[in-house]
Amino acid sequence: MVYHVVESQQFDPETLQYLFKRADELRETPELCLKGKILTSLFYESSTRTRLSFESAMIRLGGMVIGTENAREFSSVAKGESLEDSVRVISSYCDVIVLRHDEDGAAKRAAEACDMVPIINGGDGKGQHPTQALLDVYTIYREFGKLDNLKMAMVGDLANGRTVRSLCYLLGKFDDIKIIFVSPDHLKMKEDIRDYLDKKRIIFREEEDLNKVLSEVDVVYMTRIQRERMSDKDYEKAKGKFIINVGNFHLIRKDARIFHPLPHVEEIDLPINIENNDKRVAYFRQAENGLYVRMALLDFVINSN
C-alpha cells in the first residue's frame, strides 16, 4: 500500500518512536538504503529548509532528485495543467513526490489522485506541514529526552501558521501537555484545533502578554507573521507585537528552549553570540534535525510500505 504523508494526526505514537529511533541511527551511520530511487520536489511555493533538507536526505541515502522549485512558472502548470494530472504523470518518473502548495488541502487532493508513489505534504497553504511537526517533536525528544509532561507557548500568527496546527495535532498524541497560545487578537488559533485539543484533553489557554509566560514554559515556539497570507492592514496590526530580544531573553528559564520553524524575521532579534552559544536557542538544531527525520521518513515511505 502507498503510504502518503498528508496530515500529522495520521502518525501513531509507535510510528513516531520508530521514525525518531531510525533518524538517530541514520544520523550516526548513514546507509545507502535508497540507492537507485528518485525523489521529485514539486514546489509551488518558496522554501529553503523543506526542499533542500528533503533533497539532501535523499542524496545522503543514495537516491537521486529531480524537480521544480517554482512549479507555477517552470512546469506545465503554467499551461493550465491540474495538480492531479501533474502528480499522476510525475509518479511514473519517480519513487516519491514531496509537494509544497499554496492551497489548503492540495496534498490530500494529490494523494487521492496518485496511487503509484507516496506523496509527502511539504506544506499546503494554511493547512498543514506534517514533516515540520515531525522534526519539531523529534527536537523535543532530543532536547528533553521525553515527549510528555511539557508546557509549551506557541507565539505569533496562529491563524495562518500551518506549523503550529500540525504540531498541535501531533502533541495531542502525548500525555500531560499544556499549551499557551500567544497571538494578536485577529490571528488566534482556529476552532478546529481547539476542538481537537479539547477532545484529546490537552489543557490550553490564551495570553496576550508574552513576557508573562516566558518563565512558565519548557518550549517557546515562536512563529513568523505570515505577511503573504493577509492584508497589509492586518500585517501592520500584528507586526512587532511579540518579540524575543535581549530585553526579555533573561525571562526564559535556563532549562527551556526557543523553537522556531524558520525563517524568522523581526520576532526573534537576538545577537549572534547568544544565537551561537546559548543552549536555549534551539532553532538551528531544530532545522538540522529536519534532515535526519526526513531521511528516516523517506526510508519508511519508500522501503517499508
Give the interface with ligand CP as residue ranges (CB under 6 A).
47-50, 123, 129, 132, 261-263
Q: Which of 79, 199, 233, 250 is catalytic?
A: 79
Residue with cell 535556563: 254
Taking the complex as a whole, how short is the minimal distance between the CB of residue 262 and ligand CP, in angstroms?
A: 5
- CA torsion, ordered 92, 98, 101, 107, to nearest 10 deg: 80
In the complex, minimum distance from the CB of residue 155 to ligand CP, in angstroms, rounded to a whole number: 15
From the list 60, 129, 162, 165, the catalytic residue is 129
CA angle 24, 168, 42 (to 5 degrees): 65
Minimum distance of ligand CP from residue 205's CB (angstroms): 26
Active site residue 79: yes
Catalytic residue, chosen from 50, 139, 163, 223, is 50
Measured from the CB atom, the residue of 194 and 227 that comes closer to ligand CP is: 227
Grid coordinates representing 304 are 517499508
Least distance CB 100 / ligand CP (angstroms) = 7
CA 263/CA 78 separation, integer angstroms: 28
Q: Which residue has the cell 489543557?
A: 203
Is residue 194 part of the annotated active site? The answer reads no
Distance (Å, rounded) from C-alpha 226 to C-alpha 10?
26
3-state helix, strand, coil in the chain (%, to 5): 45, 20, 35
For ligand CP, give the closer residue by CB, 129 or 173: 129
Active-site position among 22, 37, 49, 241: 49
280 is catalytic: no
50 is catalytic: yes
C-alpha cell at 42: 514539486
Nearer residue to ligand CP within complex by CB, 19 or 79: 19
Report cis status (omega within 30 of 0) of the bond before 271.
Answer: no
Cell of 9: 494526526
- CB of 52 or CB of 251, closer to ligand CP: 52
Q: Is 227 tagged catalytic? A: no
Residues that are catalytic: 49-50, 79, 100, 129
